[in-house]
């Protein structure tokens, strides 16, 4: 929720990220999505942002949220999960919003299977942060802050 003149940063998480904590912890770590959200809120408060943190397994819901960001958010941090590698619809939605976009991944997608090396999100993103586990989200927030300030 945006308070007063606080800038809102939309953090979107795609499919299966609701399973963090128990999902392949050797790849994604043991923190849950809720742990990540709490850490982001702590830093966001210090930096003067409100965080709107969401997760969906549905491509259409993610597209709708990206469309709705126009006018309500200052930046989008997006971990599109597997949709990163498949979704032209998410790319099109991102290209229709005019604000900083940071692509985030917990794992280093370039060290993994070849099908993860291509991202449909990257052409619309200011930058990509991957491979730092849950810290990727914190680094992405710092990157958005640098762009916005
Ligand atoms: C991921 C990497 C994707 O390849 C995978 O499908 C995910 C998570 C990551 O955060 O490392 O679901 O986006």
CATH number of the domain at 103, please. Answer: 3.40.50.9100
pLDDT value for 3? 47
Q: Is residue 1 part of a domain?
A: no
Closest ligand 1 atom to Cα of 80: 13
Q: Is residue 3 in some structural domain?
A: no
Residue 2 lies in a domain: no
List pLDDT tens digits, range 91-143: 999 999 999 999 999 999 999 999 999 999 999 999 999 999 999 999 999 99
For residue 105, the Cα-to-chain-centroid distance in whole angstroms is 8
For the chain, the average pLDDT equals: 95
Q: What pLDDT is recorded for position 6? A: 72
How remote is the CA of residue 114 from the centroid of ligand 1, in Å?
Answer: 13
41 and 11 Cβ atoms separated by less than 8 Å: no
Q: Which pTM value belongs to this model?
A: 0.95
d(CA 17, CA 7): 25
Cα–ligand 1 centroid distance for 27 (angstroms): 9
Q: Is residue 32 part of a domain?
A: yes
Index of the ligand 1 atom closest to the CA of residue 16 = 12
Cα–Cα nearest to 93, from 130, 56, 129: 56
Pocket lining for ligand 1, CB < 6 angstroms: 16, 79, 81-82, 84, 105-107, 109, 116
For the chain, give the percent of residues with pLDDT over 70.
97
CB atoms near residue 117 (< 10 Å)? 11
Residue 73 structural domain: 8-148
Q: Count up the domains in the chain and report the number.
A: 1
| Centre of ligand 1 from the C-alpha of residue 81, in Å | 4
Residue 48 counted as domain residue: yes
Q: How many residues does the chain have?
A: 149
Q: Which two tokens stand for residue 22?
A: 């128990």
């Amino acid at each position: 929720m945006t308070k007063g003149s606080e800038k809102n940063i939309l953090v979107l998480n795609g499919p299966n990220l609701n399973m963090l904590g128990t999902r392949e912890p050797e790849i994604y770590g043991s923190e849950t999505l809720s742990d990540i959200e709490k850490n982001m809120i702590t830093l966001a408060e210090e930096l003067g942002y409100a965080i709107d943190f969401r997760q969906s397994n549905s491509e259409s819901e993610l597209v709708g949220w990206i469309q709705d960001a126009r006018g309500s958010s200052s930046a989008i941090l997006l971990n599109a999960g597997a949709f990163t590698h498949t979704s032209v619809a998410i790319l099109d939605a991102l290209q229709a919003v005019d604000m900083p976009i940071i692509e985030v991944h917990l794992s280093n997608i370039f060290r993994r299977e070849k099908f993860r090396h291509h991202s449909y999100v990257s052409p619309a993103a200011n930058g990509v942060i991957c491979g730092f586990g849950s810290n990727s989200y914190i680094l992405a927030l710092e990157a958005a802050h640098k762009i916005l300030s």
